[in-house]
A = this chain, B = another copy of it.
């Protein structure tokens, strides 16, 4: 089944201990779309500028991503530059030029009307809410956000949280939204604000999914997936969006929505995140095979499962 991602397409300058690249294709929607494309058909709504060429678009088209929702606007594409120091867990931003992304108003092509799965990448929560309201027939909505919106637009964020079925954020964002330093307690508070499930991404330590009582099944036990201990992390950029792409893409590829599907999806999220960081930009996500993905899924299983 098709999944639609709404978010940023960007050009990035990235420096890490492994090297540096300039003007590489990036953005949350790009990472998400490529990662999800190994599981299901992906549609994209984004905005780019005059500098976005057919070659750039072909990166997505080669993965069968439907790019009809990528709007061309006069001006330049969103540009971001950042660097990672030794620990690789946090980027230091050198510059952020929003360019055409500053006035982004998502327009959903008519051809996307039958979309059943939706991922609202990190944009203004009011835009996220507007997109969700515009779409009928959505079976499951995933969403992301960031500290900028948590602090700056808390009311709009609260409205958005009522519209997403699964929220995917990190530890710090969870604690910020809940105003609660204990992570499991913070998770319960966020779930009480709307989502049926909350995926908390712990970076190199994996991710945990918390369920609202009765959501997607019974009980209230959380579930944890690992990340891979990787000796050569070239570029952590896009790891979280690739995680979301693997997670949501796998869910969209399944007929049912239940806890076992969401648990396996959490593993596939970790798998796609682990591939993303092996090369700069989206390079590794462009040339994978489903066999490689399933082999790594097995590695994740062996990493965590007792005999």
Chain A residues packing against B (C-beta within 8 Å)? 86-88, 181-185, 187-188, 202, 204-206, 208, 210, 221-226, 229-231, 233, 260, 263-264, 267, 299, 301-307
Contacts and interface: CB of A to CB of B under 8 A. Distances in A.
28 contacts: A86-B181, A88-B182, A182-B233, A183-B204, A183-B229, A184-B229, A184-B231, A185-B231, A202-B205, A205-B206, A206-B224, A208-B229, A221-B299, A221-B302, A221-B303, A222-B229, A222-B303, A223-B302, A223-B304, A224-B303, A225-B304, A260-B306, A263-B306, A263-B307, A264-B306, A301-B306, A304-B304, A304-B305
A299 to B, nearest CB: 7
Nearest to A181: B86
A146 B229 CA distance: 23
A40 to B, nearest CB: 20
A181 to B, nearest CB: 4
Contacts of A206: 205, 224
Contact of A231 (B182, B221, B226, B230): B182
Contact of A226 (B87, B185, B224, B233): B224
A210 B260 CA distance: 29
A138 B232 CA distance: 37
Contacts of A208: 229
A180 B299 CA distance: 25
A222 to B, nearest CB: 6
A213 to B, nearest CB: 14
A253 B72 CA distance: 67
The 4 residue pairs across chains A and B that have the minimum distance between CB atoms: A205-B205, A184-B229, A86-B181, A184-B231
Contacts of A221: 299, 302-303
A223 B305 CA distance: 8
B230 A184 contact: yes
A77 to B, nearest CB: 32
A183 to B, nearest CB: 7
Nearest to A263: B306
Nearest to A204: B183
A230 B306 CA distance: 22
Contacts of A222: 229, 303
